[in-house]
Amino acid sequence: MKISSKRRVAIVVLCSGGLLAASCGGSADELIDQASDALNELAEDGSSVTESEGSASGDSTPEGSSTGSTSSSSGDDDVEVAVEPNARMPLTGAPLDGVDGIPDRPALAVKMPNNQKALPQTGLNEADIVFEEIINDGLTRFISVFHSQGSDPVGPIRSGRAQDVDILTNLDSPLFAWSGGNPGVTRVINNSSLVSLNYVRGFADAYYRRDGRGGSPHNLFSSTDTLWDLTPEEFSVPPQIFSYMLPGETAVGDPASIIEIELDSILARWDYDSASGRYLRSQYGEPHMTELTGQAWADNVVVLLVEYRRSPIDSKSPEAITVGSGQALIFTDGVVQVGSWQRSSNSDMWNLYTDETLSEPIGLSDGRTWVELPRNDSENVRYVS
């Protein structure tokens, strides 16, 4: 049976008795008794709910509210209730019955190249989150972050950048697999909270070279299990670094089925596939294929427009400024939400909001997320319905 708006008011009063009592001066027990009486009276009068009233209130959600699809029933009444799951997979937001479902291991960040000789990569579709950053020579490089699952093999694996520290610090001491860097970059990473698994500084046995991959430096690989085996005795499971919508919620925004993002010489394109609910990636004018699991894809594409400065360590290397605030475009469920990103420190999660007032947060769909970091020019991002 559909529920009238009056009965919904009674339910809200019943569920919020303690709060109302505190603000109105009465006791919570008195208000709960009154709400219960109101429910009983409305139940006896249920036959008076008109067909139009039931239709209007049963299948829609009030505009601007945040609800999920979880329902609970009492007698003949089905009530839509927005509930946060008992637990979530930290880096995908996937609902879990409890924290026992969360793997007891740290996040693992693997630095991957994106130049033509390095293709195809392995592990991009197994990573929970992938960051794409601009590096020297106008190219991009990926940081693939693993936690809920792994990849064997994973790579190619390349050198780090100083900007990686600010991008990854909020993962709470993640393992960082990289092939090395200049002395300045090595010093910055060694002095950070990242757990360095540097190929050229003591961890060479965890890596290997593969034939037929264009030769060094494009052929360095490992596996996530091998790298996780190097976890120190003291470690932390990563925290959640994005907010997610409640189960059953879908994003509200303008349709956006094709996305193009300019990252210096790389033009990344994402096409929304409505059948799978995924975004499929292309670059260099063709589908971006991985070695083992087909075309690169994501459930969410988060575009953060950032300033790049000249790195104080290497003047030829741009460095993304990812602490502060800026414009954000969040693509999920085939729509775009234009808003703002904000972080006060590199240990903060990635806060996404509908506008610069930072008053209304934006949640992602649960699933895998790609974070694109183009230069701070709105013309670098285009989308069409």
- Residue 344 is predicted with a pLDDT of 97
Q: Is the pLDDT of residue 54 over 70?
A: no
CA 29 to chain centre: 42
Q: What is the pLDDT of residues 13-53, one digit of tens each?
A: 323 333 333 333 444 344 334 444 543 443 444 433 333 33
**Higher confidence at residue 24 or residue 326?**
326
Interatomic CA distance for residues 175 and 237, integer angstroms: 11
Tokens of 119: 């293709």
- Residue 79 is predicted with a pLDDT of 58
Residue 274 Cα distances to 92, 166, 278, 280, 295, angstroms: 20, 34, 7, 11, 16
Encode burial over 295-325: b for 16+ CB neighbours within 10 A, e otherwise: bbbbbbbbbbbbebeebebbeebbbbebbeb
Q: How many residues does the chain have?
A: 385
For residues 176-197, average pLDDT: 96
Q: CATH second-level architecture of 254-384?
A: 3-Layer(bba) Sandwich (3.50)
- Residue 32 is predicted with a pLDDT of 38
**Higher confidence at residue 76 or residue 70?**
76
Please answer whether residues 340 and 352 qualify as being in contact, where contact means their C-beta atoms are separated by less than 8 angstroms: yes
Q: Is the pLDDT of residue 99 over 60?
A: yes
Residue (of 72, 228, 222) closest to 148 by Cα position? 228
- Residue ranges of the chain assigned to CATH 3.50.90.10: 95-228, 254-384
Q: What is the pLDDT of residues 275-320, one digit of tens each?
A: 999 999 999 999 999 999 999 999 999 999 999 999 999 888 999 9
CATH 3.30.1060.10 applies to domain 95-228: no
Q: What is the pLDDT of residues 55-75, one digit of tens each?
A: 333 333 333 333 333 333 344
Interatomic CA distance for residues 113 and 331, integer angstroms: 24
Please answer whether residues 33 and 26 qualify as being in contact, where contact means their C-beta atoms are separated by less than 8 angstroms: no
Q: Is the pLDDT of residue 143 over 80?
A: yes
For residues 160-172, average pLDDT: 97
Q: Is the pTM of this model over 0.85?
A: no
- Residue 318 is predicted with a pLDDT of 96
**E runs forming strands in 188-334:** 195-198, 208-209, 220-221, 254-255, 258-263, 266-273, 278-283, 286-287, 297-298, 300-304, 308-310, 318-320, 324-332
What integer best gives the mean pLDDT of the chain?
Answer: 84
Q: What is the pLDDT of residues 227-252, one digit of tens each?
A: 999 999 999 999 999 999 999 899 99
214 band by pLDDT with thresholds 50, 70 and 90: confident
